[in-house]
Amino acid sequence: MKTIAVIGAGTMGNGIAHTFAQNGFTVKLIDVSEKALDKGMNTIANNLDRMLAKGTITQEDVAKTITNIITYTDIKDGVVGVDLVIEAATENVDLKLSIFKQLNEVCSHNTILATNTSSISITQIGAVVAHPDRVIGMHFMNPVPIMQLVEVIRGYNTSDEVTQIIMQLSEKLGKTPVEVNDYPGFVANRILMPMINEAIETLYNQVAGVYEIDTVMKLGMAHPMGPLQLADFIGLDVCLSILNVMYDGYKNPKYAPCPLLVNMVRAGKLGVKSGEGFYDYSAIKKAEKVAAQFI
């Protein structure tokens, strides 16, 4: 496997493209928007520059990584001759199903089709594709070039052969793959999102403030960042989407999103990407200033 396509040039897509390109793969980065592709490539260049400044890579590594990435605005053109496609579009089931229907039309039946979904059923996605045995989940963690884990999710029809190929491929990237089965939220988000939701409930019920909740979890539980800060980093809209998928999938009220989370998303307070969530990022992209509504 030498050539892959990544669909989506956003945070996860450009991180996945960066990681594969840095490890010597030819990457075809696809997005419908030329602007999104330019932004994604700028993010990759900036991240490489930071790695260069830290001495973890060389100038030659930077040049080779950028050279290994080719951008496309058309899926049909971008998937020609690839061994693997990784879809990293927005966490929206209708969008993902639409993309996989397109892939079914334009890709060879030998092409492995992966999705970076963090919660949506691999089995459901595979159902719109001929030969669903080649459909699998590759859930990378953000930031992709740094985080070690890849959740490898088997759909109901995913073959043993495809699973082993993806497990071995993940190891070639320097990642640690963990095989899990296809249930809403898989492992990572089935455990993480209820914790984040409970932190929001704790704030909603006025048990403690934003800073206090995050400090308890950082100092008391040795978490690198508090759950409210992490929610801002992930994106509150993404957190809400994942919780809704789990709530719909399990019909268990423990996965029901907190009303405060719902209202914040409705108000456009999405975290780092919108400039405000539980913290105010208007002046600095760090969780140092609690948002005005929670002071």
Active site residue 197: no
Q: Which of 119, 189, 197, 241 is catalytic?
A: 189
Whether 228 and 269 have beta carbons less than 8 Å apart is answered as: no
Active site residue 118: yes
Quick one: how many helices (H) and strands (E) in the chain? 13, 8
Whether 261 and 200 have beta carbons less than 8 Å apart is answered as: yes
Q: Which of 116, 118, 119, 241 is catalytic?
A: 118
Give every CB contact of residue 292 below 8 A, 6+ residues apart in sequence: 280
Q: Which of 18, 151, 241, 276 is catalytic?
A: 151
Sort strands 135-140 and 176-181 into parallel, antiparallel or unpaired: unpaired
What is d(CA 147, CA 18) in angstroms, rounded to the nearest whole number? 13
Q: Which residue has the tokens 């493209």?
A: 17
Active site residue 131: no
Taking alpha carbons only, the member of 50, 78, 48, 47 closest to residue 63 is 48
Active site residue 212: no
Q: Which of 14, 91, 116, 139 is catalytic?
A: 139
Active-site residue set: 118, 139, 151, 189
